[in-house]
Each structure stands twice: as C-alpha cells, then as structure tokens.
Amino acid sequence: MSLGIWQLQRAKEKRAIEAATSEQNNDSLLWIGDPLLDEIDNEYQKGAAQGYFDNKHTMLLDNQIYQGRAGYYVLTPLRLANSKKGLLINRGWVPASLYREKLPQVEDASSLLITVHGILHRPSNPPFFLGEKESLDSAGWPKLVQYMDLNKLQFKIGYSLQPLILQLALNEPYGFTRPWLSSTPVIGSQRHIAYAIQWFTMSVIAVIVFVVLYRREFSNKK
C-alpha cells in the first residue's frame, strides 16, 4: 500500500513538472545575461544566451544511457557576453569507450562569439555512491564527473555560473547526439498511476489470501 501511495506522489510530481513545462514553453524566449536566474521560476523555460565557449573546462557527465549504450553528456561553460557570469551548456551525448580509463575525444565548440538556444534545467541531484566517486578534484580536463556541482565548478574555473543548465536545442550546432525530443519527462504521470494500481491490486490480493488462509486455519482448529 505504501508503494502505491509513493507512486501516486510521484505521479503528482510529474504532473507538476509537465504543467510547468507546458507553461514555460508557451512563454516568450528568455535572454540570459548577468541577472541571476531563479532555479524554480526559470526551470523548463526556453532560453537563449550569447557568449564564448570555454572549451578548456569541458566536463563529461558519467552514466548516461542512450539506446542501451553507456556514454556521457558533454557540458561546456559559455562565458556570457557583457557579463562576468557563465552558463553551463549541455551539448549532448557521446558514447563511452570499451575501456573506462579511455575518455572520448570531444570536439571543441566555436571560439567565436555565438548565440545558443535551448531549455533550462536544474542540475540533477547527487547519486548514492557505493565506492569512490570521480570528482572535480581530479587533474586535467575534460573532467569525468558523476553529477554537476555548480558551486564547486565555478570555484574551479574562476568565475560564477548561472544556477541552471541550458540543454542545447536539437537544431543548434556545436552539439552531439541529443536524446531529448522535448523537455517533457521520459516517464509521465500516467505510468506512475499504472504502477500505483498494480501495487494496490497486489495489496488487495494479499489481504484476500490472508483472510482465506486465516479462515481455513480457524476452521481446522475448530
């Protein structure tokens, strides 16, 4: 029963995300500059920014699966024009090598002043680690990371970053394979409701089996 309730809560969260995504996508384009973005109000909004790619500080976000194959998301900071801030750009997915110690060769983006478009997202929460994790403390670039810690990253690169990540639009250059067809969550609210129904059904069956077995045991004793 508790698992069913949990799935209903997940469905409620997904509906809220879907509603926010639909609402933000209907809004006008947000031009990103020096004013600090709001993590809640600006998430899922269409954004555009102008600046210079900081190719020296590219990162590879580990454990990204696309069509059953392991790989990485390539994230490169964009130094915003007429601002002291930067914006982290998710340029898309690249496949991993058969040997984990061999990182993929990532092509640098343009070093000229460019304009990029995409959807704004918050960094994912840190995962649970069973062993030693990769970190921004490792030497050399590009760095392999398990999750994006923007506070730690901006300390490493020497300039502040906007709190959201721009997921590069499908028709934009300087990117790689972009598995996101839209900003809508992969598993929608209806899937969680279906899971909840399954758990509640299993709970009812368990109660029926318990009652039948209890009555049978009671009858035998009687």
Q: Judge if 99 and 154 occupy the same domain.
A: yes
Write the pLDDT tens digit of every residue in 66-115: 999 999 999 999 999 989 999 999 999 999 988 877 888 889 999 899 99
3-state secondary structure the chain: CHHHHHHHHHHHHHHHHHHHHHHHHCCCCEEECCCCCCCCCCCCCEEEEEEEECHHHCEEEEEEEECCEEEEEEEEEEEECCCCCEEEEEEEEEECCCCCCCCCCCCCCCCCCEEEEEEEECCCCCCCCCCCCCCCCCCCCCEEECCCCHHHHHHHHCCCEEEEEEEECCCCCCCCECCCCCCCCCCCHHHHHHHHHHHHHHHHHHHHHHHHHHHHHHHHHC
**Structural domain total, the chain:** 2
Which pLDDT score, from 0 to 100, does residue 188 have? 62
Residue 83 has, within 13 A of its CA and on its CB side, a CA count of: 21
Q: Judge if 81 and 146 occupy the same domain.
A: yes
Q: Judge if 200 and 168 occupy the same domain.
A: no
The whole model's pTM is what? 0.70
In a domain, 38, yes or no: yes
Q: Judge if 67 and 156 occupy the same domain.
A: yes
**218 backbone φψ class: left, alpha, beta (φ>0; ψ -120 to 50):** alpha
Write the pLDDT tens digit of every residue in 104-149: 888 999 989 999 999 999 998 766 545 555 555 556 788 899 888 8
pLDDT value at 163 more than 80: yes
Q: Judge if 180 and 197 occupy the same domain.
A: no
In a domain, 157, yes or no: yes
In a domain, 26, yes or no: no
Which pLDDT score, from 0 to 100, does residue 40 have? 87
In a domain, 28, yes or no: no
Domain extent at residue 198: 1-18+187-222
In a domain, 212, yes or no: yes
In a domain, 23, yes or no: no
In a domain, 87, yes or no: yes
Q: Judge if 141 and 174 occupy the same domain.
A: yes
Q: Judge if 69 and 174 occupy the same domain.
A: yes
In a domain, 27, yes or no: no
Q: Judge if 122 and 65 occupy the same domain.
A: yes
Q: Judge if 62 and 6 occupy the same domain.
A: no
Higher pLDDT, 184 or 209: 209
Q: Judge if 1 and 103 occupy the same domain.
A: no
Q: Judge if 159 and 201 occupy the same domain.
A: no
